[in-house]
C-alpha cells in the first residue's frame, strides 16, 4: 500500500524532491512561497488522495491583477489580517496597526485538508463571514514593493478556492483606512458553514499537516490578539475546550 503524505516521512520526501524547506515551528516565510512550494502542495494533495481544489496560476494572477487595478498607482497598500496574517504575514511590511472591520466576523467555516490538516483528519480554517465585527491588524506594504509582496500574499492566501479578495474599510486608532482583505468564498467546496461545537473541537484538536498543528494556530491567534489588547472571548473559550480535548487524548 502506498504511504499517504500524512506520514511525515512521505511529506519530507516530497519536500526534498521540490527543494522546499518545511517550517519546523509552523512559521511561514516569504522565501517559502515559490513556484516549487505551490508544486509541493499539489504533490501533497495528490499523495494523500485529496480533493483540495487549487486555483490555477492564471486564475490566481488574474484575481490579483483585478484587485490591484483598483489601487491608486504610487500609493502604499494596506491589508487586513484576522488570523495568522496578524503575526506571520510572510511579506515585507513597513508598518502595522490595530484595526476593526465592520460587517464581518471570524468563523471556522473552511475545511482544512492541507497545510495543517489532511483529508483523513481534516481541521478547520478561519475566514470572514458576513455580519458583526472583527478585530485584527492592518499591515502596510510600500508602493514599490506591492507587486513582489502581493505575489507572495496571493500564493499564501489564494492557493485554493476558499477565499475571495476584496477591498474594505477598517477603523484604526488613526482613523478609517482602505485595506485589502480575504473573505470566505461560499461557493468553494471547502466551505462548511458553522460546524457543531463537538465536531469543531475534535477537528482542531486532532488535525495536523506539513506546516503544523491546527490547534497551534488557534492558540497562537489567541495569544497575539491578547498581545494587541483585542482578546476574543469566543475564540478563547474554543481554545480552552480544544486544550481539554487534547489533554484527554494524551
Looking at residue 68, its pLDDT comes to 98
> What pLDDT score does 21 carry?
82
**Torsion over CA: 157, 161, 165, 168 (sign):** negative
CA 225/CA 227 separation, integer angstroms: 5
Beta-carbon contacts of residue 35 (< 8 Å; ≥ 6 apart): none
Q: Which long-range contacts (CB under 8 A, 24 or more apart) does 241-249 make?
A: 241/197, 241/201, 242/201, 242/204, 242/205, 242/215, 242/218, 243/215, 243/219, 245/201, 245/202, 245/205, 246/205, 246/215, 249/205, 249/206
Dihedral angle sign, alpha carbons of residues 16, 19, 20, 21? positive
> For the chain, how far is it from start to end, CA to CA, in angstroms?
29
What pLDDT shows up at residue 107?
98
pLDDT value of residue 3: 42
Give residue 8's pLDDT.
Answer: 62
Residue 157 is a catalytic residue: yes
Q: Which fold has domain 12-249?
A: Hypothetical upf0131 protein ytfp (3.10.490)
Among positive and negative, which fits the CA dihedral 129, 132, 138, 144?
A: positive
In the chain, domain spans: 12-249
State how far the Cα of 207 lies from the Cα of 120, in Å rounded to an integer: 9
> Residue 122 in contact with residue 211, Cβ under 8 Å?
no
Give residue 210's pLDDT.
83
What single DSSP character describes residue 114?
Answer: S
Q: pTM for the full model?
A: 0.91
Residues whose CB is less than 8 angstroms from the CB of residue 30 and which lie 6 or more positions away in sequence, other chains included? 90, 91, 92, 149, 152
Residues in the chain: 250
Q: How would you write the pLDDT of the chain (250 residues) with one tens digit per residue?
A: 334 445 666 788 888 899 888 777 778 888 888 888 888 888 888 887 777 889 999 999 999 999 999 999 999 999 999 999 999 999 999 999 999 999 999 999 999 998 899 999 999 999 999 999 999 999 999 999 999 999 999 999 999 999 999 999 999 999 999 999 999 999 999 999 999 999 999 999 999 988 889 999 999 999 999 999 999 999 999 999 999 999 999 8
CA dist 15 and 39 (Å) reads 10
CA distance 37 to 20: 6
- Residue pointed to by grid coordinates 477565499: 163
Residue 1: the pLDDT is: 33
Compute the distance between CA of residue 63 and CA of residue 60 in angstroms, rounded to an integer: 5
* Strand ranges for 46-174 from DSSP E: 77-81, 95-112, 123-141, 163-172
Q: What phi, psi does 246 have (nearest 5°)?
A: -65, -35
Catalytic residue among 129, 149, 157, 206: 157
| CA 188/CA 106 separation, integer angstroms | 17
Amino acid at each position: 500500500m502506498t504511504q499517504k503524505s500524512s506520514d511525515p516521512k512521505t511529506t519530507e520526501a516530497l519536500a526534498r524532491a521540490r527543494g522546499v524547506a518545511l517550517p519546523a515551528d509552523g512559521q511561514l516565510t516569504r522565501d517559502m512561497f515559490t513556484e516549487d512550494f505551490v508544486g509541493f502542495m499539489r504533490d501533497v494533495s495528490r499523495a494523500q488522495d485529496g480533493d483540495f481544489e487549487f486555483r490555477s496560476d492564471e486564475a490566481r494572477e488574474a484575481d490579483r491583477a483585478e484587485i490591484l487595478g483598483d489601487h491608486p498607482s504610487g500609493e502604499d497598500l494596506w491589508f487586513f489580517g484576522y488570523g495568522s496574517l496578524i503575526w506571520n504575514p510572510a511579506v515585507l511590511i513597513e508598518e502595522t496597526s490595530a484595526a476593526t472591520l465592520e460587517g464581518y466576523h471570524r468563523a471556522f467555516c473552511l475545511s482544512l485538508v492541507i497545510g495543517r490538516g489532511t483529508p483523513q483528519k481534516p481541521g478547520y480554517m478561519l475566514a470572514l463571514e458576513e455580519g458583526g465585527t472583527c478585530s485584527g491588524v492592518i499591515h502596510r506594504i510600500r508602493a514599490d514593493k506591492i507587486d513582489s509582496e502581493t505575489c507572495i500574499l496571493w500564493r499564501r492566501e489564494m492557493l485554493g478556492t476558499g477565499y475571495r479578495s476584496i477591498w474594505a474599510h477598517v477603523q484604526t486608532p488613526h482613523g478609517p483606512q482602505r485595506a485589502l482583505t480575504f473573505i470566505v468564498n461560499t461557493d468553494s467546496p471547502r466551505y462548511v458553514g458553522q460546524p457543531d461545537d463537538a465536531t469543531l473541537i475534535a477537528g482542531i484538536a486532532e488535525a495536523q499537516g506539513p506546516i503544523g498543528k491546527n490547534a497551534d494556530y488557534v492558540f497562537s491567534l489567541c495569544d497575539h490578539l491578547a498581545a494587541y489588547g483585542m482578546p476574543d472571548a469566543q475564540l478563547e473559550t474554543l481554545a480552552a475546550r480544544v486544550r481539554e480535548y487534547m489533554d484527554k487524548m494524551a
